[in-house]
Amino acid sequence: MGSRKMLVTTAMVALLALPLAACSSSMRLKSQKICASTGGTYSGNTCNPGTPKAKTATQMCQAHGGVYITALDMCEMEGDK
């Protein structure tokens, strides 16, 4: 019976945590996706847009008003409020 109670408790916590995660006011985008959406290719933390002005992941993120997270190679931006 102890493991059944643990399973029910875990399921309840998961169900309660899910709506809270959906209320986040920020989002994270992969640097590769930001680059690809502009028609560029992404390699070595650098976006090569096909023009002479390649941009780093940090520069791309900051240009969109975000904060670059090096460890995740992602850009975090504020969402709609």
Q: What pLDDT, on the 0 to 100 scale, is given for residue 81?
A: 47
In the prediction, which pLDDT does 22 show?
52
Please give the pLDDT value at position 10.
65
pTM: 0.48
Domain residue limits, the chain: 25-81
Determine the 3-state secondary structure of 24 from DSSP.
Answer: coil
Quote the tokens at residue 18: 């899910």
**56 pairs with which residues across the strands?**
46
Sequence-ordered list of residues with C-beta below 8 angstroms from that of 68, at least 6 positions apart, any chain: 31, 57, 58, 61, 62, 74, 75, 76
pLDDT at 28: 78
One digit per residue, the tens of pLDDT, for the chain of length 81 reads 466 666 566 665 555 554 545 556 777 778 888 778 777 888 888 888 766 677 888 888 888 888 999 898 888 988 754
